[in-house]
Chain A
Amino acid sequence: MNGKNGFTGPTGPSEAQMKGESGGGRRVRQPVGKRPAGCAEADMEMENRPDMQRAPRHDSQATGMIDRSLQAQLGRQLRAIFEGIEEEPVPERFVKLLEALEAREKQR
């Protein structure tokens, strides 16, 4: 799942860690069970990267990685909302409104 959004690109020293993560060979210093079950991918990334787990909040590089992954996720959610409404059938009120406008036009 990691990296599927293309936001794990070639920036900063964390790239090697991302690769190590996808290879599954990276050591985890902290026990995984510390976080609640059912974690999203952003959380998974955190677990597999001890440096980030202990990183202070204002560590801009670590934050940047999460932000990009999160932003891709936010983008998908935004489009999902938009497309979900687009797929709904046109409400009858609009069909009737346009028919009425057209009929009025023809009477003129």
Chain B
Amino acid sequence: MNIHSGPLKQALLGLIPNLRAFAVSLCGDVERADDLVQETLLKAWNHLESFQEGTNLRAWLFTILRNTYFSDCRRRRREVEDREGKKAAELAIHPGQQGHLDMQDFRRALNMLPPDQREALVLVGAAGFSYEEAASVSGCAVGTIKSRVNRARTKLTEMLGVNTPREFGPDSSTEAIVARTAGGTRLP
């Protein structure tokens, strides 16, 4: 296939920084992110016939990457929940005490969001996709993306908000984690 030559390689190379940023924001782990990017590049190269020329290559690559990530997540759900539980246990977000929201707090809070909400927030809030494009990448309705973004924002605000320290103080946070780990349910 002619399209496999130089131009495609250049196009893929040019999109790697964007893909990596998406992958890291999505999974919160640079090593895993680079594995996701690698798998995405391989799949894209090997399934190029399913890409419709003239459509958005970036959106197509993002779709492959997020599908890879979510099927990966399903496969290792328990492991992921354990890892998130540990992260949550280390989490002590007290902007009121500490005086500012540092980047570390933000990263932790972002990683605690349900993956579908995190994905929607990153696509719309950082990667610059429209709600429609984000919906197409995630394979869901535009309304679903909007509601995920809203829920993600609300949840981050709750987790990091200066006005709700009690809800996410060490005690209730630990309780929530215990409840979550035991029941397998997500934070409210």
Q: Which residues of A contact B (CB under 8 A)?
A: 35-40, 42-43, 46, 57, 62-63, 66-67, 70-71, 73-75, 77-83, 85-88, 90-91, 93-95, 97-99, 101-102, 105-106
Contact = CB atoms under 8 A, between A and B. Distances in A.
Contact of B163 (A39, A57, A82, A101): A57
Nearest to A38: B99
Contact of A46 (B1, B127, B162): B162
Contacts of A74: 101, 106, 153, 156-157, 160
A87 B20 CA distance: 10
Nearest to B106: A77
Given A67-B161, A77-B101, A78-B106, 7 more contacts: A40-B95, A43-B95, A66-B163, A81-B25, A88-B17, A91-B34, A93-B38
B104 to A, nearest CB: 10
A51 to B, nearest CB: 13
Nearest to A80: B103
Contact of B17 (A37, A73, A87, A99): A87
Nearest to A39: B99
Contacts of A62: 163
B171 to A, nearest CB: 16
A102 B9 contact: yes
A106 B6 CA distance: 10
Contact of B42 (A83, A88, A95, A97): A97
Contacts of B101: 40, 70, 73-74, 77
Most buried by B among A57, A67, A80: A67
